[in-house]
Every structure is written in structure tokens, then in C-alpha cells.
Structure 1
Amino acid sequence: MPVNKKRVQRIIQKLGLQVRSFTRKSRKYSSYKGKVGKVAPNKVHRRFDTHIPHQKITTDTSEFKYYEIDAKGRMIIKKLYLDPFMDLWNREIISYGISRRPSAENIMKALNESLEITSDCQYRRTFHSDQGWAYQMNAYVYTLKENRVFQSMSRKGNCHDNSVMENFFGIMKQEMYYGAVFYSYEELKETIEKYIKYYNEQRIKEKLGWMSPVEYRLNLLAA
């Protein structure tokens, strides 16, 4: 049923269904540790849109908190780290890694998976990120070079240079994280995995003609 989105918004407000959990924000995790390796130039320059599948990929790391109870019955804050790789063509999360601590191994595993998935691109690919320590390390830089992939980095301290990924983290935390309490690593990890599946396969986007990223990909590739 075609309905104007402004009418939907008015109905949501009238019925008191407006989401409010997003107001619970915490300090953003920063992976920047200074210049610890090679810093690549910004080749994307906020040109996030592309009509070529698998040609522009962006990535970042985000931190999530959960709680565990120790032997003395005390509540201890623990952390989980998510490293997703997104195709800027349809905003689909094509690979990701989840770990208990910032991990080069975790990022490299997700990187290699995304390189394999995007290897069908007929044009030279560009992988974009911020200047986090993991994206400067020799293994990451060398792997991109070996696969003839351009490396691009945001300018230092400029979140707008990777706003698409920042927006994904914001939406994700509003919809499945803020307002919820997780009491184990496994519980939080499973919830994140389910959300990414939902985001890819079911969550519609106006920019994609009210289709989900996977639905948009299948429709255009079948045309």
C-alpha cells in the first residue's frame, strides 16, 4: 500500500511509537594509534555512491559492551569488536569479523573474505577505511597491493569521510543495542549476527527503491 512517509511519521508520533533508545550514546571507539604504518591518501573523497557492484568497499571497527559476573558476584564490563566490510553499491555487509578484542587476525580474515567475494569486479577496486592501526599494518596494505586494490583512508579525525559506515553503526545500535543489556559474549555475538542478516536481507532502504540490499542486488543482476 503506497503511503507517504510523512504520514507514517505522524501516525508513529500520535501513537507514541517513536524509538527513544537511540538517546543512550556512549563514547565512540577509536582505533587511531597515530602513524604506525602506511597512511593512504583519500581516494574516495566522500563519493560514496557507485553504480558498479563490488567496486567500492568501506570498513571500520565498532565497540560493543556486555556484562559478565565473576566468581565474587561482581558485574564486570566486557567488550566485543565488530569489523564489517560494506559494498557501497547497495550498502550490503559482504563480510565481517567479531572478536573479544581489537584483532589484526579478525580484520584480515574479514578482509580476505571480502576480497574473494568482490573478485568478480571488472574494474579496479577501492577499499576505504579510517586511519586505524589495523588498516596501516603491513599485512593489510600488502594484501590489498597483491590483489591490485586501491587503498583509501579518511583524513585524520574526520568521521564524515566514512559517514556511510558510521551511519550503519548508528542505525544498528539504535535498533538492536541501545536500551538492551547483554550478559555474555555469545549472546551479544548472536544478536549482532542476526541483525546483520536482517539488515542485508529484510531492512528496506528508500535509496534502493524500498528494497533490502540483497533484494536490490538480486533484482538488478537478474535484469
Structure 2
Amino acid sequence: MKQFKRSKGNYGYRRIWYCLKKKGFTYCQETLRRLMTNMGLKVTVYSAKSHYHSYRGRIGRTAPNHLHQHFNAKQAYQVLHTDITQISINEQIKGYLSPVIDEASGAVVAYATSIHPNMN
């Protein structure tokens, strides 16, 4: 793949497909992706280095399940949801956001931020 070598490994299958299309080749994108995978041509510049992995097992207290998956609150502050979301601050640092959302209005009523995905 001359196009891949010319790009110094920065072009993925979409950009290679576009370059080949401009030169008159009529390969399907899926075929080109499969060929590049078989040849070991993979873009490493934009590849993610690590992903967030949640803890296994039980950490902290688990609240009793009073709702049983019926999330149809009509009054404010009766049903509240929370979750942890990973946010990239820069290339080395990840941040974690945990909002508390009211089911009835969909408004964020509180939030917590951290640079560690822990219960604190």
C-alpha cells in the first residue's frame, strides 16, 4: 500500500479509499478495510491508549431497589439518577463527572467531579 506508506501510517482506510477512488479504483470501503487489516496496516497515531474500566465486585453500599425499573416519576425529587462519566482533560489526565439528575424534570440537581473513579 503505497498510499499508507506515503502518509507515514497516518491514513486510515477511509482516507486511503478516497485516494484510490480519485485514482479510478473502485474498491468497497469494507473490502479495503479488510485488506488493510490482513496486511497489518493500522493507524497508531489516533488510537486510544487506555480506556476506563470500572471496578469489579461490590465497592461501597448498594441501595435497595424500590423502583424495580419503573422510572416514571411525576413529582420533583422523588426519583434521582446518577452515573460516572469519563472525560479527557488532556492526553495524560482523565476526569470523572458524576451528575445527579431528577427523573421528573431531567434537571441536574447536583454533581461531583474527580480525577479518580472512586466512591469519594
TM-score by length of 2: 0.49
Which protein has greater RCO, CA pairs closer than 8 Å, 6+ apart? Answer: 1
Q: Which structure has the highest helix share of the two? A: 1
TM-score by length of 1: 0.28
Radius of gyration: which is bigger? 2
